[in-house]
Amino acid sequence: MTKFALSPDREKHVEEILSRYPNRQAACIPVLHLCQEQNGWISDEVVEWVAARLGLSAAHVKGVVTFYTLFNKEPVGKHQVWVCRTLSCALRGADDILHHCEKRLGIHVGQTTKDGKVTLRTAECLASCGTAPMIQVDKDYYENLTTAEVDRILDRLIK
Amino acid sequence: MLRQTTYLTKRYGVPEGWTLPVYERDGGYQQAKRALSMPREALVEEMKAANIRGRGGAGFPMGVKWSFMPWPPKPEKPHYLVINADEGEPGTFKDRTIMELDPHAVVEGCIIGCFGIGAHAAYIYVRDELHLSKARLWGAIKEAREKGYLGAKPFGIDYPVEVYVHTGAGAYICGEETSLLNSLEGKRGEPRLKPPFPAQAGAFGMPTTVNNLETIAAVPVALAMGGDAFSKLSDLHDQKDGGCRLYGVSGHVNKPGVFEACVGLTLRELIYDLGGGVKGGELLGVIPGGSSCPILRPDETVNAPDPKSPLHRWHGKNVLDVPMGVETYRALGTMLGTCCAIVLNKNTDIVLAMHNLMRFYRHESCGQCTPCREGSAWLFRILDRMVHGEATMEELDRLHEIADNIMGNTICAFGEGTAMPALGFLRKYRKEFEEHVRTKGKSGTGRLAL
């Protein structure tokens, strides 16, 4: 096991984050985001590093990690494709979009393509109901989708 | 009555509308500057007169909430302003537009809000998925700080104000204010017991006001116009429900989107005049303000013979023609919520619609209280059996029982937010549910999309 440590740039960012709050614990979620950005997921080494850096118990940090959907508890693909499936999107064809993604990528929801490029996931309401159906790819929203547009988006990711 | 306004959406669609020069061209930050030179009490009175009902769903009067803060602030107990932008209620997509298209209104609202409640720091809690919103807010904060509108002496006035963006990590429950505070403090986002209320012990154990993002963004407009004049924009001014607000409409309509109008718009106007009408046929039902609000049927009429009822003026009329207000909708047995409606047309399989939402609640229950954790899971499990044609009539009745057992037995309102819409579906579409069970699912269309 390699020991985890944040890169110097990100480490500087931690200092700035800490300056926003009256205590160190409050930086827990933002710092975990930074770690995930670097490491791709939150391993036990990351949990221990964050705990030590912020003066928290590893149990506390682990508890936080397991509470929130967006912290990856295991390694994931290079890109995350989230298909919103909640009612407003479902009324406008989210199920078709999801099945199309599964077919195109050759995987089921929750799985990662064999080359490790894409993990397909479903999301609960992403606050994009007026522009449904939609998917989120990493940090970007793609809205008012058709299956043809989904193809174009996925092709860029897997090529 | 439909009266569209552009007080909150003036810069929507304007090139670079989210930048400081455009905001200042429209008179931006003049109200923050003015507020910081006002007596605090006068500011709070002005906000009370504006009758801004919380836009996050609970509809609590904002000015009254501000007045709950202990006064004067004690030096060892700093006050905090926390803005709830954890927008995640299914069907709701209004706060995101403000953050993306008019972030300076939020920052200016935060400066005024901080002064009104005696705080020197505001945290805007944005759900992590909204990356553009976070970037626009941070951009606005940076611009405002560089101009000297934030920091140690905003506008040269000795009242330090800092505004920060804080992100969650994907948990609907963090939109509940005490859960949000735990999340802000770097904990699991589990709701807290009230009391103590946030005004006594909120963020970091200090007196805190939590306001919805749209609520705070309306503050500069309300102050510029004057509280009373702002309130009188609304048809429901006499019910202390004032101003203008954002309305959203999604699902089976021809023109889904966010619109700004005076308070008192009716659902019919939202669906047909703003939303362009029902897509693909007749209306089956409308979830009026986010998925936690019980559904309304288009054939319901208002029954309010009592002259004291807030609904009496609309006695005998169709529910779609009742102005959307906090009190009117409560009296209808639903909730105004976030004013973002989900429209379902006649071809929608109502069992599938409920199944979709119950899956959401099962996923998002934080698991702290047993009735909600187990109840939401059972609601979904039985509905899943129903969708697959396996449920019995006894199980249909059991859904009522499970929902009843959640109500009132949980720490936070998520429990009611699950049980109330569940009971709404079951009571208002009983015939459809029975038919679905009897025919083992064959009576439904089996589709949500057109």
Rounded to a whole number, what is the distance in Å from the CA of B307 to chain A's nearest CA? 37
Contact of B286 with B421, CB cutoff 8 Å: no
| d(C-alpha B164, C-alpha B82), whole Å | 10
Contacts of B436 (CB under 8 A, 6+ apart): B351, B386, B443, B444
Burial class of residue A62 in the structure, from the number of CB atoms within 10 Å of its CB (0-12 exposed, 13-18 middle, 19+ buried): middle
Q: Do B258 and A95 touch (CB under 8 A)?
A: no
| DSSP helix/strand/coil, B290 | strand
Tell me whether A16 touches chain B (CB under 8 Å). Answer: no
- Asked if the model's pLDDT at residue B446 lies above 80, the reply is yes
Same-domain check for residues A87 and A141: yes
Q: Please count the other Cβ atoms lying within 10 Å of the Cβ belonging to residue B21.
A: 9
Write down how long chain B is: 450
What is the pLDDT at residue B91?
97
Task: Compare all CA atoms of chain A with the CA of B359 and give the residue at the minimum distance.
Answer: A86
Structural domains counted in chain A: 2
Q: Mean per-residue pLDDT for B181-186?
A: 98
Same-domain check for residues A37 and A101: no
Rounded to a whole number, what is the distance in Å from the CA of B427 to chain A's nearest CA? 20
Helix B430-438 / helix B414-428 crossing angle, nearest 10 deg: 70
Give the type of residue at B5.
T
Contact of B123 with B184, CB cutoff 8 Å: yes
Same-domain check for residues A145 and A88: yes
Mean pLDDT across chain A = 97
Contact of A65 with A71, CB cutoff 8 Å: yes
The residue among B263, B244, B212, B237 whose CA lies nearest residue B9 is B244
Examine the fold and report which residue of A17, A32, A67 is the final residue of a domain before the chain moves on. Answer: A67
What is the pLDDT at residue B272?
98
- Banded pLDDT at B442 (limits 50, 70, 90): very high
Contacts of A148 (CB under 8 A, 6+ apart): none
- Banded pLDDT at A2 (limits 50, 70, 90): low
What is the pLDDT at residue A85?
97
For domain B246-345, give the fold: Ubiquitin-like (UB roll) (3.10.20)
Residue A72 lies in a domain: no
Where in chain B is CATH 3.10.20.600?
246-345
Q: Mean per-residue pLDDT for A99-112?
A: 97
Same-domain check for residues A85 and A58: no
Contact list, A88 vs chain B (CB under 8 Å): 90-91, 250-251, 342
Tell me whether A128 touches chain B (CB under 8 Å). Answer: yes
What is the pLDDT at residue B123?
98
Contacts of A146 (CB under 8 A, 6+ apart): none
CATH of the domain at A43: 1.10.10.1590
Q: Please count the other Cβ atoms lying within 10 Å of the Cβ belonging to residue B370.
A: 12
- Banded pLDDT at B450 (limits 50, 70, 90): confident
Contact of B354 with A87, CB cutoff 8 Å: no
Which residues on adjacent β-strands are paired with residue B245?
Answer: B261
Same-domain check for residues A95 and A59: no
Give the range among B290-299, B391-400, B427-436, B441-450 with minimum mean pLDDT. B441-450
Same-domain check for residues A61 and A83: no
Identity of the residue in A22, A82, A90 whose CB atom sits nearest the CB atom of B449: A90
Residue A37 lies in a domain: yes
Q: What values do phi and psi take at A68, rounded to 5?
A: -100, 135
What is the pLDDT at residue A3?
87
- Asked if the model's pLDDT at residue B178 lies above 80, the reply is yes
| d(C-alpha B450, C-alpha B434), whole Å | 23
Q: Mean per-residue pLDDT for B296-314?
A: 96
Mutation for testing the B interface, residue in A31, A85, A86, A129 having most B CBs under 10 Å = A129
Tell me whether A76 touches chain B (CB under 8 Å). Answer: no
- Asked if the model's pLDDT at residue A10 lies above 90, the reply is yes
Same-domain check for residues A56 and A92: no
Residue A92 lies in a domain: yes
- Omega of the bond prior to B307 within 30 degrees of 0, cis? no
| d(C-alpha B260, C-alpha B12), whole Å | 11
Q: Mean per-residue pLDDT for B240-249?
A: 98
CATH of the domain at A89: 3.40.30.10
Contacts of B275 (CB under 8 A, 6+ apart): B249, B253, B254, B255, B256, B257, B341, B343
Q: What values do phi and psi take at B251, rounded to 5?
A: 90, -140
Same-domain check for residues A38 and A105: no
Q: Do A129 and B342 touch (CB under 8 A)?
A: yes
Residue A73 lies in a domain: no
Q: Please count the other Cβ atoms lying within 10 Å of the Cβ belonging to residue A59.
A: 10
- Asked if the model's pLDDT at residue B139 lies above 90, the reply is yes
Q: Do B128 and A132 touch (CB under 8 A)?
A: no
Name the token pair of A139.
């940090």
Name the token pair of B216.
């705070």
For domain B20-231, is the CATH number 1.25.40.10?
A: no
Name the token pair of B186.
């770097």
What is the pLDDT at residue B306?
96
Task: Considering only CA atoms, give the Rg of chain A.
Answer: 18
Question: What is the extent of the structural domain holding A130?
Answer: 79-158
Contact list, B168 vs chain A (CB under 8 Å): 29, 68
| d(C-alpha B111, C-alpha B118), whole Å | 10
Examine the fold and report which residue of A67, A89, A112 is the final residue of a domain before the chain moves on. Answer: A67
- Asked if the model's pLDDT at residue B409 lies above 70, the reply is yes
Contact residues, B window 161-200, toward A, CB-based 8 Å cutoff = 162, 164, 166-172, 183-190
What is the pLDDT at residue A144?
97
Rounded to a whole number, what is the distance in Å from the CA of A112 to chain B's nearest CA? 20
For domain B350-438, give the fold: de novo design (two linked rop proteins) (1.20.1440)
Mutation for testing the B interface, residue in A125, A139, A144 having most B CBs under 10 Å = A125
Q: Do A70 and B357 touch (CB under 8 A)?
A: no
What is the pLDDT at residue B368?
97
pLDDT in tens, B27-42: 999 999 999 999 999 9
Task: Considering only CA atoms, give the Rg of chain B.
Answer: 22
Label residue B54 left, alpha or beta by phi (over 0 means left) and psi (-120 to 50 means alpha): beta
Residue A74 lies in a domain: no
Angle formed at CA A92 by CA A89 and CA A93, multiple of 5 degrees: 90
Rounded to a whole number, what is the distance in Å from the CA of A113 to chain B's nearest CA? 23
What is the pLDDT at residue A1?
54
Q: What values do phi and psi take at A47, rounded to 5?
A: -55, -45
Give the type of residue at B213.
L
- Asked if the model's pLDDT at residue B278 lies above 90, the reply is yes
What is the pLDDT at residue B281?
85
Same-domain check for residues A126 and A95: yes
Tell me whether B257 touches chain A (CB under 8 Å). Answer: yes
What is the pLDDT at residue A41?
97
Contacts of A116 (CB under 8 A, 6+ apart): A77, A78
Q: Mean per-residue pLDDT for A50-78?
A: 98
Q: Do B91 and A88 touch (CB under 8 A)?
A: yes
Identity of the residue in B88, B168, B188 whose CB atom sits nearest the CB atom of A127: B88
Same-domain check for residues A83 and A144: yes
Contacts of B380 (CB under 8 A, 6+ apart): B355, B358, B359, B361, B362
| d(C-alpha B79, C-alpha B202), whole Å | 9
Q: Mean per-residue pLDDT for B193-199?
A: 97
Q: To which H or E segment does residue B215 belong?
A: helix B213-217
Same-domain check for residues A100 and A54: no
Contact residues, B window 89-118, toward A, CB-based 8 Å cutoff = 89-93, 95-96
Identity of the residue in B166, B256, B353 whose CB atom sits nearest the CB atom of A130: B256
Proportion of chain B above pLDDT 90, given as a percent: 99
Mean pLDDT across chain B = 97
Q: Do A129 and B166 touch (CB under 8 A)?
A: no
Contact of B71 with B79, CB cutoff 8 Å: no
| d(C-alpha A13, C-alpha A27), whole Å | 11
The residue among B309, B311, B243, B241 whose CA lies nearest residue B61 is B241
